[in-house]
Amino acid sequence: MDTLRTALRERLGLAPPAPVDVRRGEVVACDGYDRERIEYPGLEGDVIPAFLFTPVGREPLGGVVVFHQHNGEFHFGKSEVAGLVGDPFQAFGPALARQGLVVLAPDAISFEDRRAGVRGVQPDTYDWLQHYNAMSYRLLDGDTLMRKGLDDAQRAMTVLLAVSGVDPSRVGVAGHSFGGTTAMYHAVVDPRCRFAAISGAVGSFDSRRGAGTGILLFETVPGLARWLDTHDLLSAIAPRPTLVVSGTQDKYSLDADEVVARAGGDSITHLRVERGHALDAERFEAIVAWVVGEGAQGVR
């Protein structure tokens, strides 16, 4: 709904998308795709590093920004999406690029190469504190980590559209856990997201609080739960195609079936499995297949 999009943007103080300068870097030839490291400026003059995955030997079908997970591993970001480190069922970059999509995978603030004190994929003792500071310092100024995260997200979409040359009706967002939450809010505030694949991130505030589940620092916005809940976000993405992936034993998705039912409409595809939070082969492959086969088909 345009109403929620406008209200959320205004409440956060989120500026409209603007052109972004991109610095191109090293290109690595891989099996079926090229992986390029790029950088572009963030809202606060910071540098946002990302990997760009481009199919080789074929015209791109579409494009997708993939937001990485959290998992308490602040030393992993874009490199996990690239399949270079971490969980192989987070390696959406290679899997989607081999299927013909251009993929952009940026580091979120305080992850991997956007940590305050170190770079790379080795952990540091104070990683968690830097992530906490990314929220608390902003709260001191009456700002939020969500505003920064969503500004980063819409910059990523601007970059994807600028460098890929793909049809704007065939670009969207995807992510698991923290990445899924980012994708969900981004799709609400940015109509350029023509589809959204959201995994391990669809649970009501009441369900998460009732289970004693931690709330992402990204989502810690004073008063947020008083005027929206997760079903409102899904409703606001409609009628754009949306994939929700959830596990019955996932504390972040305990009532995902109820949330999807409350959102209503026929634009949501829901894959619910009798498992926990971490992705497995079935869910990973289903996300890839949906993004390629339905998401990137374009909204007519």
Domain of residue 291 covers 2-297
**Single-letter code of the amino acid located at 292:** V
Report the distance separating Cα 27 and Cα 88, nearest Å. Answer: 22
Q: Residue 298 pLDDT > 70, yes or no?
A: no
- Cα-only R_g, the chain: 18
Nearest Cα to 279, choosing from 207, 198, 164, 160?
Answer: 198
Task: Answer yes or no: are the C-beta atoms of 163 and 38 closer than 8 Å.
Answer: yes
- Residue 162: which CATH number? 3.40.50.1820
Q: Residue 299 pLDDT > 70, yes or no?
A: no
Task: Answer yes or no: are the C-beta atoms of 274 and 245 closer than 8 Å.
Answer: no
What share of the chain has pLDDT > 90, as a percent? 96
Q: Tens digit of pLDDT for each residue in 152-190?
A: 999 999 999 999 999 999 999 999 999 999 999 999 999
Instruction: Assess whether the previous peptide bond of 191 is cis (omega < 30° from 0).
Output: no
Residue 294 pLDDT grade (very low, low, confident, very high; cuts 50, 70, 90): confident
Q: Tens digit of pLDDT for each residue in 119-143?
A: 999 999 999 999 999 999 999 999 9
Output the pLDDT for position 1. Answer: 60
Cα distances (Å, whole numbers) of residue 202 to 179, 194, 224, 270: 12, 19, 16, 10
- Average confidence score pLDDT of the chain: 96
Give the bridge partners for 176, in sequence order.
199
Instruction: Tell me how many domains the chain contains.
Output: 1
Contacts of 165 (CB under 8 A, 6+ apart): 60
Look at residue 70 and give its three-state secondary structure.
coil
Q: Tens digit of pLDDT for each residue in 56-78?
A: 999 999 999 999 999 999 999 99
Q: Residue 117 pLDDT > 90, yes or no?
A: no
Task: Answer yes or no: are the C-beta atoms of 5 and 145 closer than 8 Å.
Answer: no
**Average of pLDDT values for 140-152?**
98
DSSP state of 58: S
Cα distances (Å, whole numbers) of residue 9 to 14, 37, 188, 190, 196: 5, 30, 9, 9, 18
